[in-house]
Amino acid sequence: MKKIGKIVLSSFLVILGLVYLSPIYIMLVNSFKNRAELYENTLSLPSAFHFKYYIEAIDKMDFLQAFFNSLLITILSCLFIVIFSSMTAWMLVRTDNKLSKFIFMTFVATMLIPFQTLMMPLMQFMGKIRDILGIPMLNTHGGLIFMYIGFGVSMAVFLYHGFVKSIPVSLEEAATLDGCSKFGVFWRIVFPMLKPITVTVIILDVIWIWNDFLLPSLALSDKALRTIPLSTASFFGQFTIQWNLAMAGLTLTIIPVVIFYAVAQKHIIKGVAAGGVK
């Protein structure tokens, strides 16, 4: 009876896995079809596998420029999020008073606010910064990176905060007695010990920023500044949709992040578990 139950459970999990993977299958097979073949049967295999639609999608998306834009924004955003949030979490843990607890709870509370409720006031505020201070916050990569840092540090501080508690204060005190400055204590002693949670923060933020469409669509208007998710929108017109090119473009979009996730996935559970338990 127990064996039958395991077989039923395994079969259910396989079917559930196929259901979850079905959108990827549909995207892949339809990226090789022409429009007539796609509309005839969405689920069938293409009559021939050729990459002409991928080449056409790359040209229409200006893929290399969009790829460079996404790469630049993702790397710089993750770099600053890691630096600022790790230092912030360390100071909040080591400065154990009511103010530090209030600041930490504020970071946690901001994680609960949906971006959709902030996006229009945010764009208006960034526009005022541009008009009053002359700082180009809209339609620039720098402004977009600044906004990603603001939205990304809350979760990163939360993850770092739990991990920093596991680091013995005695290590920092010993380094201070040896003549190390506060800045040196953090970068030479504390930050190297934060590697597991740092990898987790980087993975989660890379997946989020690389795939994000809404914030770049609000902040960027010039075609030369578009990220990869924005460039795929060129296949969706007002009166017609080039589904085969869109499928090819979406496949190109997810390939880099899938490769990145496959390489680094083992660090996610390790880092989150370490930060949550410690």
Alpha carbon distance 120, 117 (integer Å): 8
Closest CA to 138 of 216, 212, 211: 216
The reported pTM is: 0.84
Any idea how long the chain is? Answer: 278
Sign of the dihedral defined by the CA atoms of residues 184, 190, 194, 198, in that order:
negative
Instruction: Calculate what percentage of the chain has a pLDDT beyond 90.
Output: 19
DSSP letter for each residue of 53-90: HHHHHHHHHTHHHHHHHHHHHHHHHHHHHHHHHHHHHH
Residue 274 has pLDDT above 70, yes or no: no
Domain 51-277 has CATH 2.70.70.10: no
User: Please, which residues have CB within 8 angstroms of residue 73's CB and are 6 or more apart in sequence?
Assistant: 141, 144, 145, 148, 209, 216, 227
Q: Is 44 helix (H, G, I), strand (E, B) or coil?
A: coil
Alpha carbon distance 228, 237 (integer Å): 17
Secondary structure percentages of the chain, helix, strand, coil, to 5: 80, 0, 20
CB atoms within 10 A of CB 273: 12
The domain locations on the chain are 51-277
pLDDT by residue (tens digit) across 33-67? 877 787 777 777 887 787 888 888 888 888 889 99
Q: Kindly state the DSSP code that residue 180 receives in the 8-state scheme.
A: -
CA-to-CA separations, 82 to 118, 143, 201, in angstroms, rounded? 23, 18, 7
CB atoms within 10 A of CB 18: 10
What integer pLDDT is reported at residue 58 of this predicted model?
Answer: 86
Please state, rounded to an integer, the average pLDDT across all residues of the chain. 84
Q: Kindly state the DSSP code that residue 113 receives in the 8-state scheme.
A: S
pLDDT by residue (tens digit) across 78-135? 999 999 999 999 999 888 788 888 999 999 888 888 888 888 888 888 888 888 888 8
User: Please, which residues have CB within 8 angstroms of residue 139's CB and are 6 or more apart in sequence?
Assistant: 219, 220, 221, 222, 225
